[in-house]
């Protein structure tokens, strides 16, 4: 698929657009304000909605499955819901 516009010559305009959009949305507390925040958010939401890593890799146009696996991180609440209760006392 070809893009309808001429690509940016550098990543700086994309970084600035992303930073402004995040600031307007009131998003704070991120280590950095860059466009990959949007990719990561899309991938994480897709995983939580039941998409497979293969589907996400295709959506993000990754060449290697290992690249997609970085988006498969789970949040603490998800881990809690999947964990088994511990029946014993701490020692």
| Residue of 41, 45, 44, 64 whose CA lies nearest to 54 | 64
Cβ contacts of residue 37 below 8 Å, gap of 6+?
18, 22, 30
Q: What is the pLDDT of residues 48-77, one digit of tens each?
A: 888 888 999 999 889 998 888 877 666 666
Most confident of 33-37, 44-48, 85-89: 44-48
**pTM of the predicted structure, to 2 decimals:** 0.57
Query: b/e string for 38-56 if b means 16 or more Cβ within 10 A?
Result: eeeeebbebbeeebebeeb
Portion of the chain with pLDDT greater than 90, in percent: 7
Q: Average pLDDT for residues 5-27, to the nearest whole number?
A: 78
Cβ contacts of residue 21 below 8 Å, gap of 6+?
none
The domain spans of the chain are: 35-74
Quickly state the pLDDT bin for 40 (edges 50, 70, 90).
confident
């Amino acid at each position: 698929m070809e893009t309808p516009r001429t690509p940016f010559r550098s990543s700086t305009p994309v970084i600035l657009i992303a930073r402004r959009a995040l600031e307007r949305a009131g998003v704070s507390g991120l280590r950095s304000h860059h466009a990959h925040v949007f990719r990561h958010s899309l991938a994480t939401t897709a995983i939580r909605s039941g998409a497979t890593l293969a589907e996400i890799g295709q959506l993000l146009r990754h060449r290697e499955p290992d690249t997609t696996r970085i988006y498969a991180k789970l949040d603490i609440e998800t881990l809690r819901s999947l964990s088994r209760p511990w029946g014993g006392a701490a020692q």
